[in-house]
Amino acid sequence: MNHLNHLKNIRIVMIGTTLPANIGSAARAMHTMGLDDLMIIKPRLPIDETSIASAAGAVSVLKKACIVNTLDEALADCSLVFAASARTRHLPRPVVTPSQSANILANFFTQQIKQPDNKKPPKIAILFGREDRGLTNDELAAADYHIQIPANPDYPVLNVAAAVQVISSFIYDRFIQSNEDKSNNANQMTLTIRQDWDEAMITHSQKDALNDAIINLMTRLDLADSQDLKNLPSRLSRLSSRVQLDQKEYALLRSLIAKISQKI
């Protein structure tokens, strides 16, 4: 299978954009690297003529772009989430370079190809933050991996559209390598993507629903107090990212939680 076909299953998510021109520049960067799934969460200003001018030949990406109100809407159907961030914050996820993130993506899709019953290809999201302050702790906590672009330590800050360009270029290059059977990249890291799936991975919305059910159960059993609840959602999210549940495992855990809940 042509690995470049998987590019359509990679979603770029821009959060709280300030300048419409940056949306257009990001769309241009995406189109150059074969990506076309753009989602924007609560932009301060809508897509306008400056967006179209900055997009140049990538107006088709802008026309397809979807504007939503919440991060949950943007990630609901995604099985794997990355977040681009210049710095690591509270309860960090594994930090990877753009090259390593591209390897993870390629490996993920390679494993999905091996699953004949997995008819609907999974979605992968890459989050990009606001021009002035990046991503919040809660937004970073929604990701399975954090991508950090190596840069001048005295000024490691990239324009959001430039960050989209850098990361998507590594992805495109890695997928070309996959097509040419050049997968043994010197920068390849030890991957934590689970192998040999017999069921599809759960989506982001299912992961959130499971975490909410666990928190509710723990609260009812007096296993979590108000102090625990501050960090419990993030810790459970990080745990579920490492475990990488499939659909049957998810159903099993939800049934178990429901049964216990009936007994208390």
Q: What would the pLDDT profile of 84-105 be if each residue is shown by its tens digit? A: 987 666 667 889 999 999 999 9
Q: Are residues 47 and 99 in the same domain?
A: yes
Residue 191 lies in a domain: no
Selection from 173, 104, 186, 203 nearest residue 145 by Cα: 104
Q: Which amino acid is at 17?
A: T
Task: Provide the 10 A C-beta neighbour count for residue 247.
Answer: 15
Q: Are residues 93 and 7 both part of a single domain?
A: yes
- Give the per-residue pLDDT at 28: 97
Domain final residue pick, 134, 162, 179: 179
pLDDT at 114: 58
Q: Give the rounded percent of residues in the chain with a pLDDT score beyond 90.
A: 60
pLDDT single digits (tens) 187-231: 444 445 555 567 888 999 999 999 999 999 999 998 887 777 788
User: Do the domain assignments include residue 192?
Assistant: no
Residue 37: the pLDDT is 98
Based on the fold, state whether residues 220 and 148 are members of the same structural domain: no
The verdict on 113 and 42 lying in the same domain is: yes
Co-location of 150 and 245 in the same domain: no
Q: Taking residues 236-247, what's their average pLDDT?
A: 86
User: Is-contact 71 16, C-beta < 8 A?
Assistant: no
Q: Are residues 52 and 131 in the same domain?
A: yes
Count of CB atoms situated within 10 Å of the CB of 56: 13
> Structural domain of residue 169, as residue ranges?
3-179
The answer as to whether 185 is a domain residue is no
Q: Is residue 54 part of a domain?
A: yes
0.95 cut: is pTM over it? no
Cα end-to-end distance, the chain, whole Å: 51
